[in-house]
Structure 1
Amino acid sequence: MSQSNLFILMIIIHLSFSQSVRGKECVCDLKNLDPPFPKNELTKVETTALQCIETITSEKMTGLDRLVLGLQQRIKQLEENVIMLEKEDDRNLYGAVSLRIIELEITEIQDLLDKLNRTTQNYQRLSVQTAAQLENMKDTMVELEKFDKMQVIKKYRERNSKKNLEQCKEELKATAAPPTVSSARCGLGRVVSVAGPRTYSLTVYSTSYTYGAWGRDAKPAPGDENKYWLVVLSSSNVYGNFIRQYSTLSTLLLGIGPTDTYISSSNPTTNTIQGPNMVMYDNALYYNCYYTYSVCQFNMTTRSVSTVALPKDTGYNNKFPFAHLGATYAYTDMDFATDESGVYVIYATTSNFGNVMISKVETSNPPVLNQTWSTSLHKRTVTNTFMVCGVLYVTRYLDKETEEIFYSYDTKTKEERYDLKIHIKKMQTNIQFLNYDPRDHLLYVYSDAYILTYKLIFQ
């Protein structure tokens, strides 16, 4: 062994060196004086980290939120019942019965409180335990880093930080500002980001139906401002035949007191909902009619259906669905959107080469199509759309964790933009339904059986 090689080796590893001569050969004996790397300690840290991930889940935290919402709703209901009882003038005919009902409600509220207290105590213990585990893991990793004689970890961190910084700088240079919406039309400014999710929960159906839609009436009747609607595609993830309504968001999350309104008696049949894209506007549901290229308008009060046909070369019955490289979203040929001005339908035609078309739907009875706009965006490269102040925003699938708003079309200026980079943090892999509510500026999302809301941030 040469002197230079030996010098390099002794710098890298703490070595003991001895030299002897055997016959005509020079023999070097090298011994590592450092203690062996504690592999078991590293394995222990990895195991603890995995246990933390399995123990603390978003589903458990959502369960706590649902308990709190349910408790708030029951207390509110109890207050209303007590006020009603105080106003009763029944000459004590029903007083005892009313008091018994209130007594039962108080008992149920106490049960909810007990369950909430138990859950909170469990989470507090879990929080303390997890904090201690994290501190132990941190101390262990500090000790393990002492075995990094070549400072590989430090150099890796520095290199990774520089890389992330450079990437961030490049993105800032490359990202053009999203389109500006005229303040005279809406007064909101431009969309700059998406925050959330604010709401994240399973419905009362749990994971039974992965395709569906939900939200609020964008133009509710007086007294219905707090109502929420939910539609699940209960037949083959393609067809639905009834709308479920709840009085508040709390009752929807807890599955309390729903009202079902049936469009048809079975699936699939005439007037059945086809595909997950639909909206509620002015007490009517707008959706793709079963096996046609028509828009259906279902009046929630009269339970009557009116239709208006799209162009004859409109794709329907899974001809131009939303899609990405990995999958298609079945029977999403037509998408419906609400904004500050009303209802739109988004679709594709063969005459426009499968590219996205936008038509304004006048919500008369029967509905009629108003102005139509053609875009250069192919519909099969899209996963969803929504409208804000007359601007169409379009999303695409980036990966399992991220959806991206990448495109916009301004119906006033006819300007198209392909360079938007507004990310939506996903909780599930796929988004089957997405719509904007002009009343609260939230995006309502149905994602693999979960319902979510996101807040649009404007400049």
Structure 2
Amino acid sequence: MKLYVIIPLWALLTFTQQASALEICACELNISEKAFPHEKLRIVETNVSDCNSNITPQKTVELESLLLGLEHRLSQLNKDVLILEKEDDGELYGVLSLYVIENEMTEIKQLIDKLNSTMQKHQILTANATKQLENLKTEMQELEKFDTMQVIKGQQAIAALKVDLRKCSEKLNTTVAPTEPPQGYPYTDLDLATDESGVWVVYTTTQDFGNLVLSKLEEGEPPTLRRTWRTSVYKRAVTNTFMACGVLYATRYINREVEEIFYSFNTVTGQEKFNIGIFMNKMSPNIQSLNYSPVDQMLHAYCDSNMVSYKVLFG
């Protein structure tokens, strides 16, 4: 009697599949593209950040302020020398004028020294920045080689198209500028003042209803008024103004012998004070101008062709 083993068909199929799974399949992968240099890109980004932090608009403003201050002081020195040449009073006022001129020349020398030092720093900074930019340009051109899908070139083309569209839109929307300034913005009674930080302009406008307005002067063709502060003191109530350490001071007439510094405006804090209460004895009834000199910390007053100097003490 023979024994037969009957194997179902599904079992045979399962066995065959299991046997095939035991076979090992291997393939070779060849990548022709180079690995992207992420570390190099990080270094480039760091260099760009360092370059941006080294070159700031404040550095340019500092140099422009020094140039404007020097130009103003040279102009004032020329005026004072002309006055001295016309004086023939013997001794007193000629000596005072020479003292003022000496202080102005000292201040001019200090400005020139600071200007030379600042320009040397700027020249070094410009040379370093130029070299950095050339290196960055070369490195970015090398990194662009990894842009196989031309994404960067596409973005550059889109940016160029946006610039062209903006220029075209500006031409279409251009209107003829008025030949005369609009009524209600013209400046009136402009006065120049200088202190340690540069040149200031004190004025008023009809828009400000006659109140004092203070602006920092920026060099240009023509010069422009940059940052502006508006005060609440009426200009016609003020006889003179001067700047010291970024603070605007205003005086008023008390009588023929006394003038009062009654008002101040701090450009840093924006704080106004109407109760300064500093009184000055005058040699003449009228003070034509006041000028603070940071060199000797003296306030020089010009009264009816006479000059009086006051020592300034800061609390």
Q: What is the TM-score when the length of structure 1 is the normalising length?
A: 0.37
Query: 1:438-449 alignment to 2 at 5 Å?
Result: none
Amino acid at match of 1:92: E
C-alpha distance in structure 1 between counterparts of 2:247 and 2:157, whole Å: 54
Amino acid at match of 2:38: K
Aligned to 2:258: none
C-alpha distance in structure 1 between counterparts of 2:37 and 2:240, whole Å: 59
Structure 1 position 230 matched with structure 2 position 213: yes
C-alpha distance in structure 1 between counterparts of 2:46 and 2:247, whole Å: 41
Deviations 1:166-185 (A, max 9, x none): 5665x469x5554886xxxx
Shift of 1:124: 0.8
Secondary structure, aligned partner of 1:242: strand
Shift of 1:215: 5.3
Structure 1 position 112 matched with structure 2 position 111: yes
Q: 1:246 to 1:68 in 2, by over 3 A?
A: farther
Deviations 1:384-405 (A, max 9, x none): xxxxxxxxxxxxxxxxxxxxxx
Q: In 2, are the aligned partners of 1:243 and 1:260 still within 8 Å (CA)?
A: no
Structure number with greater Rg is: 2
* Structure showing greater relative contact order (alpha-carbon pairs closer than 8 Å, 6 or more residues apart): 1
Aligned to 1:300: none
Deviations 1:183-227 (A, max 9, x none): xxxx4599xxxxxxxxxxxx98x9xxxxxx9755469xxxxxxxx
Aligned to 2:147: 148
C-alpha distance in structure 1 between counterparts of 2:102 and 2:123, whole Å: 31
C-alpha distance in structure 2 between counterparts of 1:71 and 1:38, whole Å: 51
Query: 1:34-433 alignment to 2 at 5 Å?
Result: 34-162=33-161, 164-165=163-164, 171=169, 176=173, 178=175, 187-188=179-180, 216-217=204-205, 229-230=212-213, 241-242=232-233, 259-260=250-251
Q: 1:63 to 1:260 in 2, by over 3 A?
A: farther
Amino acid at match of 1:65: E
Q: 1:91 to 1:231 in 2, by over 3 A?
A: closer
Shift of 1:90: 1.3
Q: What's the Cα RMSD here? A: 4.5
C-alpha distance in structure 2 between counterparts of 1:134 and 1:30, whole Å: 40
Q: 1:155 to 1:247 in 2, by over 3 A?
A: farther
Amino acid at match of 1:73: H
Shift of 1:74: 0.9
Give unmatched runs, 5+ long, in structure 2. Answer: 1-19, 183-193, 216-229, 254-261, 264-269, 271-315
Q: 1:180 to 1:55 in 2, by over 3 A?
A: closer
Q: What is the TM-score when the length of structure 2 is the normalising length?
A: 0.51
Structure with the higher strand share, 1 or 2: 1
Shift of 1:253: 11
Q: In 1, are the aligned partners of 2:212 and 2:234 still within 8 Å (CA)?
A: yes
Q: In 2, are the aligned partners of 1:246 and 1:259 still within 8 Å (CA)?
A: yes
C-alpha distance in structure 1 between counterparts of 2:36 and 2:181, whole Å: 58
Q: 1:106 to 1:42 in 2, by over 3 A?
A: same
Q: 1:93 to 1:99 in 2, by over 3 A?
A: same
Secondary structure, aligned partner of 1:29: coil
Structure with the higher helix share, 1 or 2: 2
Question: How much identity, in percent, do the aligned residues show?
Answer: 35
Q: 1:160 to 1:111 in 2, by over 3 A?
A: closer
Shift of 1:161: 3.2
Amino acid at match of 1:123: H
Shift of 1:113: 0.4
Aligned residues: 203
Q: In 2, are the aligned partners of 1:67 and 1:116 still within 8 Å (CA)?
A: yes
C-alpha distance in structure 2 between counterparts of 1:189 and 1:83, whole Å: 36
Amino acid at match of 2:233: F
Q: 1:60 to 1:164 in 2, by over 3 A?
A: closer
C-alpha distance in structure 2 between counterparts of 1:73 and 1:121, whole Å: 22
C-alpha distance in structure 2 between counterparts of 1:97 and 1:164, whole Å: 61
Q: In 2, are the aligned partners of 1:180 and 1:189 still within 8 Å (CA)?
A: no
Aligned to 2:29: 30
Q: In 1, are the aligned partners of 2:44 and 2:136 still within 8 Å (CA)?
A: yes
